[in-house]
């Protein structure tokens, strides 16, 4: 099976073009592929499938030709991945599978419109974030209150007083499993200056990653909320780079670099 490797602000993915929809991707195979020692290594897998052939999203086929079938590093399925859609778009463009500079992609979280910027960055329309009250994450015995944000996938974005660089994110943070029965992506951030935040993330199904696009939007929403705003342009610094988030009354946008860095033949099987 052919694969490519790509990343968006070091949130890295193995891309599996499955244009004829022939690959049954088990959780075990995904976990093997994402293993950083015994596999290729990645935060997740992006299977490239035709929307019309994919029963989960076939109803979106009139608008989006391609479906991003996203899997976390542990093999679990997620609704959306913000850096994933941007890297997926970069693959489609580089592979000549689209010539448009603006096009829609199907995800389990619904349609996402992509725009290629003049400087090569890729912007995704991430939809309207849904804010749904507060909850608490526990990291290293310390409790942090955050804001629940639904980006198609679940987030808990916590502004904290301790510097995020000092956190130990080697272990799963605690969270309320009653509120998040299918797990949650947890962002810890320090607001810095005007409309800027430094963020780290512990992703559901992947552990700590160096960036998370849906998490960056959730962080911008939470940071804006704290400053009494709901709109504006936010710079979110993550360990792997910098993302820009625009919040307006109707939707949210995520912009940043996305690159394909390698391709090859996968020898792994179940």
Ligand X SMILES: N[C@@H](CCC[C@H](N)C(=O)O)C(=O)O
Decide: 218 and 184 in contact? Cβ < 8 Å. Answer: no
- Which residues are 235's β-sheet partners? 196, 244
**Does 199 sit near ligand X (CB under 6 A)?**
no
Which of 81, 158, 199, 238 is labelled catalytic?
Answer: 81
Determine if 109 is a binding residue for ligand X (CB under 6 A). no
Quick note: the x/- pattern for ligand X over 78-97, rule CB under 6 A, is x--xxxx-------------
At closest approach, how far in Å is the CB of 209 from ligand X? Answer: 6
SS (H, E, C) 191-211: ECCCCEEEEEEEECCCEEECC
By rule CB under 6 A, what count of residues binds ligand X?
19
Q: Spell out a b/e string for 232-252, using b for 16 or more CB atoms within 10 Å of the CB, else e.
A: eebbbbbbbbebbbbbeeeeb
**Residue 81 appears among annotated catalytic residues:** yes
Active-site residue 34, yes or no?
A: no
36 is in an annotated binding site: no
Cα first-last separation, the chain = 13
Nearest approach in angstroms of CB 72 to ligand X is 5
| Residues 6+ away with beta carbon under 8 Å from 110 | 60, 127, 152
Give Cα separations from 34 to 6, 56, 66, 209 (angstroms).
Answer: 13, 24, 23, 13
Give the residue, chosen from 6, 60, 67, 72, that forms a contact with ligand X under the rule CB under 6 A: 72
In sequence order, the 6+-apart residues with CB closer than 8 A to the CB of 99 are: none
- Using CB under 6 A as the binding rule, whether residue 240 contacts ligand X is answered as no
> Which one of residues 204, 222, 234, 247 is an interface residue with ligand X (CB under 6 A)?
204
Chain residues 46-65 in contact with ligand X, contact rule CB under 6 A: none
Taking CB under 6 A as the binding criterion, the range among 29-37, 56-64, 206-214, 220-228 that sits at the site for ligand X is 206-214
203 binds ligand X (CB under 6 A): yes
**Is residue 35 within 8 Å of 66, Cβ to Cβ?**
no
Stretch that binds ligand X, among 21-29, 92-100, 103-111, 209-217 (CB under 6 A): 209-217
By C-alpha distance, which of 68, 151, 65, 74 is closest to 104? 65
Site residues (vs ligand X, CB under 6 A): 11, 44, 72, 78, 81-84, 153, 185, 203-206, 209, 212-215
Which residues fall in the annotated binding site for substrate? 11, 72, 82-83, 153, 185, 203-204, 213-214
């Amino acid at each position: 099976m052919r694969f490519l490797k790509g990343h968006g602000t070091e949130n890295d993915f193995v891309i599996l073009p499955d244009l004829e929809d022939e690959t049954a991707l088990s959780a075990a195979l995904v976990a093997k592929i994402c293993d950083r020692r015994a596999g290729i290594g990645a935060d997740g897998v992006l299977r490239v499938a035709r929307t019309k052939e994919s029963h989960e999203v076939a109803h979106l086929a009139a608008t989006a030709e391609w479906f991003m079938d996203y899997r976390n590093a542990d093999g679990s399925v997620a609704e959306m991945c913000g850096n994933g859609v941007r890297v997926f778009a970069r693959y489609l463009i580089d592979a000549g599978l689209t010539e448009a500079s603006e096009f829609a992609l199907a995800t389990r979280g619904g349609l996402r419109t992509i725009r290629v910027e003049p400087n090569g960055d890729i912007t995704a329309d991430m939809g309207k974030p849904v804010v749904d009250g507060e909850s608490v994450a526990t990291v290293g015995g310390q409790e942090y209150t955050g804001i629940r944000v639904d980006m198609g996938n679940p987030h808990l974005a916590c502004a904290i007083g301790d510097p995020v660089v000092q956190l130990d994110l080697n272990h799963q943070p605690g969270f309320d499993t009653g509120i998040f029965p299918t797990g949650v992506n947890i962002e810890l951030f320090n607001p810095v200056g005007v409309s800027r935040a430094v963020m780290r993330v512990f992703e559901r199904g992947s552990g700590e990653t160096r960036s998370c696009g849906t998490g960056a939007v959730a962080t911008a929403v939470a940071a804006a909320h704290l400053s009494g705003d709901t709109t504006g342009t936010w710079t979110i610094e993550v360990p792997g780079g910098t993302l820009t988030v625009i919040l307006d009354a109707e939707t949210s946008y995520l912009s940043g670099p996305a690159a394909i860095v390698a391709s090859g033949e996968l020898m792994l099987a179940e």
